[in-house]
Chains A and B, each alone.
Chain A
Amino acid sequence: MLDDRMIRQLLMRAAARDDGSAAAFESLYKQCAPLLLGVARRIVGRRELAEEIVHDSFVKIWRLAESFDPLATQPVAWMIAIVRNRAIDVQSSHDVSRVDYYQNDDSGEPEGALDRLFDWSAAPGEREDQRRTTQWLRECLGELPAAERQSLVLAYDRGLSHHDLAAHMDKPLGTVKGWIRRGMAHLRGCLESRMGAAS
């Protein structure tokens, strides 16, 4: 598990643009590239394409490091977002038909799929409120109707578009869009009620 505090320090060292920046960036790469490559690969399916996406993303991370706000964002999530956005763009421009790959791991029993894809355990050095938020996300996803949960997880983990989802789930586009919209609304409602109950 990547340590957000250490990743944040490495990012800031890279952003300093001094004698130690290259070494810090290299350390950042060595630690994060496997995860980011895994994220990209799940979205585009092809390894060589995923390598290109991670390469482009690290070029962007190096350039954006100076504007990274260390107080506001979780650095690993920040990097994952960069990779995911890039992968989603590449995937739509490559028009890769990949929906067939997902039959096995996501459509079966939803509880298991959630745990296979995501790590819900507490990370070292994680604050109590972060740990609780992770726990709530796991619970709220579990409480969603199966179709909504499945569309959300496929869209997030596999970077599927509305169209991909509609084709994969063999449902009209409007239905899938409705699942996504309602799924996210339910998720937010569930999470906010837990946050409200806790505070």
Chain B
Amino acid sequence: MKIAGQPCLDALCGEYLLGTLRGAPRRRFERALREEPQAALRLRHWQRFFTPRHTPVIDTQPTARSWQRLEDELELARYRTPWHRRLAFWRGWAAAATFALLLTLGVQTLRTTQTPATAEIAQLAGTAAPQVSAGLTHDGRTIELRALRPVLAGPAQSYELWLIPAEGGNPVSLAVLGSLDARFDVPAAQVGRLKSGAKLAVSVEPAGGAPAGKPTGPVILAGAINL
């Protein structure tokens, strides 16, 4: 039965807004609102003036959990900006990255200062190169070379540092270098052999070092070890 043309339409609208239209009559009225545009229009006319606003006095704060419960039930996380597209995330990320960088720099600075100190064991000198100081760590495992001024090997050359043992015998290669400033580990077999009476020498070799394991080029620096 159509409601729209009935004389009771206004009464129904009024009771619907008031809340006294209930149960089956309300369901019938709501169906009419969907199906009969004229009924919906009439209700809208009523709504224009019958919508009193409640005073804020009646406001009641929901419990803290209530929003979370709603968000979970409706799975609203789907409708949030993904973490990697949120500006706040990138701001946070930038701050974190800066912090990490500072931390790394700090650690490296710390490392440098924590490098074990070396004690000078020899002064290497020659006519073709600036003087070089050779140092050895306390445990005898690391050599450090410091040139008076920086010297780099040419593109086709390497410098090679040799140990001439105190007990005599062939020079033993300690390292192939690109620069006379260097710090490197003493080959395991030679640890303990850098002692007084032995000598250090630097020769100029083809790039990559002496091919046969013994010096081939000119010796530019030499000095006795003196612990």
Contact = CB atoms under 8 A, between A and B. Distances in A.
Given A18-B79, A34-B61, A184 B49 contact: no
A156 B22 contact: no
Most buried by A among B11, B17, B18, B53: B53
B126 to A, nearest CB: 72
Given A35-B59, A180-B15, A180-B20, A133 B52 contact: no
Contacts of A33: 62, 66-67
B24 interface: no
Given A34-B59, A62-B74, A155-B19, A181 B54 contact: no
B49 A137 contact: yes
B82 interface: yes
Most buried by A among B22, B69, B73: B22
Interface string A46-74: 01001100110011001000000000111
B18 A118 contact: no
Contacts of B91: none
Contacts, number: 147
Interface residues of A, number: 65
Given A73-B47, A180-B18, A188-B10, A20 B62 contact: no
A33 B67 CA distance: 9
Contacts of B46: 188
A77 interface: yes
Interface in A145-192: 152, 155-157, 159-162, 180-181, 184-185, 187-188, 191
Interface in B155-180: none
A184 B11 contact: yes
B51 interface: yes
A1 interface: yes
Contacts of A17: 79
A88 B66 CA distance: 21
Given A1-B53, A180-B15, A184-B15, A34 B80 contact: no
Contacts of A35: 54, 56, 58-59
B30 to A, nearest CB: 9
A29 B58 contact: no
A94 interface: no
Contact of A188 (B14, B69, B76, B77): B14
Contact of A118 (B44, B55, B79): B55
A25 B76 contact: yes
Given A20-B81, A88-B19, 8 more contacts: A17-B79, A18-B79, A19-B80, A19-B85, A22-B77, A119-B55, A152-B18, A155-B19
Interface of A: 1, 17-23, 25-26, 29-30, 33-35, 37-39, 41-42, 47, 50-51, 54-55, 58-59, 62, 72-74, 76-77, 80-81, 84-85, 88, 92, 116-120, 123, 133-134, 136-137, 152, 155-157, 159-162, 180-181, 184-185, 187-188, 191, 195
26 contacts: A18-B79, A19-B82, A20-B81, A22-B71, A22-B79, A23-B81, A25-B76, A26-B67, A34-B59, A41-B60, A47-B60, A58-B70, A59-B70, A72-B44, A88-B19, A117-B52, A136-B49, A155-B19, A155-B20, A181-B14, A184-B11, A184-B15, A184-B18, A187-B14, A187-B50, A191-B49
Of all A-B residue pairs in the complex, the 3 with the closest CB atoms, nearest first, are A184-B14, A38-B58, A21-B79
